[in-house]
Amino acid sequence: MIVTFVSISQLKINPTNVIRAAVDYPVAVENRNKVEAYLIGKKLFERIEAYIEDYVDSQAVKSTDFSKGKNFEEAAQKLGI
């Protein structure tokens, strides 16, 4: 994975440039040559979030025992939909 490194001082001086650098890949923010945080752009965050949601959903489907099926109408009524 490609990671850009910036110091906290650089982030304070020009946050817009650092945010632009974080559009496609994370930016590691360092304090005294030690990574303190990672900055990621909006699109990258949304892609990660969607990936995690898809993964959680797929795990729920894999772990569900569909042999104990319920009537859809009863389930919908319980949920109030």
Where in the chain are the domains? 4-79
CATH class of 4-79: alpha beta
Give the pLDDT score at 81: 80
Confidence of residue 80 (pLDDT cuts 50, 70, 90): confident
In sequence order, the 6+-apart residues with CB closer than 8 A to the CB of 43 are 23, 24
69 pLDDT higher than 80:
no
Give the pLDDT score at 70: 73
Stated pTM of the model: 0.66
* Average pLDDT score over residue span 61-80: 77
Query: Tokens 């982030």, residue?
Result: 11
In sequence order, the 6+-apart residues with CB closer than 8 A to the CB of 35 are 5, 28, 29
E strands in 22-81: 27-31, 34-39
Decide which of 68 and 29 is more confident. Answer: 29
Three-state secondary-structure class, residue 41 = coil
